[in-house]
Structure 1
Amino acid sequence: MSGYLTTHVLDTARGCPADGIRVSLFRLDGSARQHLADALTNADGRTDRPILPKDLFETGTYELVFACAGYFQGSGQAGRLPLFLEDIPIRFGMNEATHYHVPLLLSPHGYSTYRGS
């Protein structure tokens, strides 16, 4: 099986998927940071296709950056500026050619992630 990467965002404060969040993917190699992809979450909180498809997959260290400020403002959850959370980076490693799923569980004042399926 070839590897690939998927993600999704769930708004735990509102109990629903988070749509319209820009997700950027970077590959890290030492101090080098290579931008690979951008995607928006859909009404289900997922990207429409894998953010890292099988044909581009390589093992290594990656970072997903979730641009959440606009989502919080649009959903009425934003407080005074600056927001507590604006961009949320998640750095992780992929060491075998398999499916990796890295979700973001989100609220205006906290977040968590895990290796999903």
Structure 2
Amino acid sequence: MSTHTTASVSTHILDTSIGRPAEGVAVSLSARGGGAGAAWRALGASATDADGRCKDLPALPEGTTHVRLDFATEEYLLRRGTGPQQADVQQDAPANRDSGATGAFFPEVAITFAVVPGEHYHVPLLLNPFGYSVYRGS
């Protein structure tokens, strides 16, 4: 039986379009206790380092039942030159994909998950210009 009264969270981002960590992505952490109807409480923010990791996310308060990680991906994707406007120059891209679109297709990614006290949750984001996935890592 665990003696910890709170859960802990960590994350990192891998840009799967280039097979490298995504550096400089702003990440904010929010939490709530008491279920889906409870209000979110902003706990703090960080940015990914050269390894794509946030090493300074704040601790979760006691009683946390849900956590939300918000990734501000637009600036990173535009800096990498991987927004919709670049899709047409890719050899396999449909000719009219996102015609007239500006910015990133996914300007932000919000991941919400349930936690239990005493557990650690490592939740990586695998990001590319037109898709993303997440999973519970270790």
The alignment's TM-score, normalised by the length of structure 1, stands at 0.88
What is the aligned partner in structure 2 of residue 97 from structure 1? 118
Q: Which moved more, 1:69-78 or 1:1-10?
A: 1-10
Structure 2: how far apart are the matches of 1:107 and 1:57? Answer: 35
* Matched residues, number: 115
Q: Deviations over 1:68-97 (max 9, x none)?
A: 000001111122314210010001010131
Which secondary structure does the structure 1 equivalent of 2:84 belong to? Answer: coil
- Correspondence for 1:60 among 61, 65, 68: 65
Kindly report which structure 2 residues correspond to 1:20-35, keeping only aligned pairs within 5 A, or say none. 20-29=24-33, 30-35=37-42
Instruction: Give the gaps of 5 or more residues in structure 1.
Output: none
What RMSD, in angstroms, separates the aligned Cα atoms of the two structures? 1.7
State whether residues 6 and 52 of structure 1, in contact with CA within 8 Å, keep that contact through their aligned partners in structure 2: no
Q: Deviations over 1:15-67 (max 9, x none)?
A: 00000000011113525121111000000000133x2337x454311110100
Mapped pair 1:38 → 2:45: yes
Mapped pair 1:107 → 2:128: yes
Structure 1 residue ranges (4+ consecutive) displaced by more than 3 angstroms after TM superposition: 56-59
Structure 1: how far apart are the matches of 2:109 and 2:47? Answer: 15
Instruction: Give the gaps of 5 or more residues in structure 2.
Output: 86-101
Shift of 1:108: 0.7
Q: 1:103 to 1:47 in 2, by over 3 A?
A: same
